[in-house]
Amino acid sequence: MTDTTHKTALPNCIGATARRFAADTSGTTAIEYAIMTFIAVAIMVVITQLGGNVTAMYERVQAIFAH
């Protein structure tokens, strides 16, 4: 074995691994569902946080019109 064999074996192995990873689509659906779930949870958190503020704003508007 020469030194060039060791120098080219690792890049070839990395390239082959990268090609296999890029071609693998077995977990794509699970990842898509995980992303959609994360977005849905984030939306629920934002709505929950804004809910109290919106209620308080409407109460202030109602108080202004009540006087």
Q: pLDDT by residue (tens digit) across 2-55?
A: 555 556 676 778 788 778 877 777 777 888 899 999 999 999 999 888 888 888
Is the model's pTM score more than 0.85? no
Q: Which residue has the tokens 């693998």?
A: 24
Where are the domains positioned within the chain? 3-66
Q: How far, in whole angstroms, is CA 58 from its chain's centroid?
A: 34
pLDDT of residue 6: 58
Using CA atoms, how far apart are residues 44 and 51, in angstroms rounded to an integer?
Answer: 10
Q: Which residue has the higher pLDDT, 67 or 41?
A: 41
Using CA atoms, how far apart are residues 30 and 24, in angstroms rounded to an integer?
Answer: 13
